Structure 1
Amino acid sequence: MSQKFDELKQKLKNVDKEKAGQLVKDVKQAHDDGDIDENEKKELMSEAKKTAGGLGGLGK
């Protein structure tokens, strides 16, 4: 797994609900930049959704 993936995964463990939305943007940007692959993005997005308590607007 990529270093960026590991970095984002660690952030997810420490993020509160208010910061989850920003972290989702970071995940999407990392994927767009090619720093993480599609599977890593999916895993991080799943974790973000759990962290945010399933709030809407987190999307894929």
Structure 2
Amino acid sequence: AFAVTEALLVPLALLVDGVMFAWSYDQPRRAVAVMTAIHAVVSMLLGIILIGVAVLLASMPG
């Protein structure tokens, strides 16, 4: 729908995520960076798993 590349969206999403963690939890920058990194990794793993399950279900015979 939008002609915006992932090279712009991913850093922007991480920045917004970090700002929201900092605003919500009022933690030091290092803790915010760790929380943002953990959130990014867990989100990617969950996305990979859900896409894999969807592909398996779509390719199921019958």
Q: TM-score, normalised by structure 1?
A: 0.35
**Looking at both structures, which has the greater relative contact order when contacts are Cα pairs under 8 Å and sequence separation is at least 6?**
1
Which structure dedicates a bigger proportion of its chain to helix?
Answer: 2
Q: TM-score, normalised by structure 2?
A: 0.35
